[in-house]
A = this chain, B = another copy of it.
Amino acid sequence: MHAFQKKGAIPLYTQVADWIREQIYDGTWNYGEQIVSENQLGEMLKISRGTIKKAIAQLCEEGLLTQVQGKGTFVTDDKISYPMGKGLLSFAESMKEQNIAYTTKVLEKRFEQANAHIAQKLHIAQGDTILYLKRVRYVNEEPVMLIENRINIQLCPGLEEVDFTTQSLFDAVERISGRKIKFSEARYAARTVGMERAPYLDVHESAPVLHLEQIVHLDNDDVIDFGNVWLKSNRYYLGMIYQR
């Protein structure tokens, strides 16, 4: 049995939350499975039910646990694979491969002037017009991905007319620009989501997210898109097979 420090500097519910996290991280409790009830946990750990409740609430905010009304508490199942090492797939193509249905909501679509940072990424001049696009993607009505695109609209005039609720960005770019998308430079990092983006993914501001920064090139090497994608943690993983 684990020894909790009832009089230590670390709140008891934080210690219990961490004990639960370890059960998951070390594989004793599996992703997607229901966990034992609050009463059982309290008895197992000799901890009051109020403290157990608080620990579980913290892990729900973090996204590691999910409570389902009338059913119980589950280890959140991160079963959506983000495509890696399969070449550059659009989100639509990747979800189709996995047989996962999704919907898209367009939150913003407007012209903006590029600041110095954006101008450098897109290889344009500061102050040049770009198309800014902000979308959220939902699976089973749960928001799983926030996407911000900054597009060099000079390379694709008319793109602003597209209804991105039903059309994929890559398809629309290829159709309107008459060019193919050739490659992208991607970098992934783990970050804290923060107050600004937490509401879009319906998580607490302290939740971890996978952040993808992507520079997308056309077949003449022009940069068409500087994308920032925020993937809900505990839903998405990056899957990859390495050959030696």
Contacts and interface: CB of A to CB of B under 8 A. Distances in A.
Contacts of A18: 194-196, 205
Nearest to A219: B244
Contacts of A10: 195
A188 B27 contact: no
Contacts of A237: 187-189
Contacts of A15: 195
Interface of A: 10, 14-15, 18, 21-22, 25-28, 30, 62, 64, 78, 81, 84-85, 87-88, 115, 117-118, 121, 180-192, 194-196, 205-211, 228, 231, 233-234, 236-244
- Nearest first, the 8 closest Cβ-Cβ pairs linking A and B are A27-B117, A88-B242, A208-B208, A190-B190, A188-B238, A190-B208, A18-B195, A88-B244
Contact of A187 (B190, B196, B239): B239
B115 A184 contact: no
A117 B33 CA distance: 14
A210 B190 contact: yes
- This protein's copies in its complex: 2
B184 A208 contact: no
Interface centre among A22, A28, A121, A194 (most CB of B within 10 A): A194
Contacts of A243: 87-88, 182-183
Contacts of A234: 189, 191
Most buried by B among A64, A84, A205: A84
B183 A244 contact: yes
A171 B131 CA distance: 50
A189 B241 contact: no
B27 A118 contact: yes
Contacts of A207: 192
A2 to B, nearest CB: 11
A185 B84 CA distance: 12
A153 B64 CA distance: 32
A242 B183 contact: yes
Nearest to A121: B27
Given A18-B205, A64-B192, 8 more contacts: A21-B196, A25-B191, A25-B228, A27-B115, A180-B244, A188-B240, A189-B233, A191-B208
Contacts of A118: 27
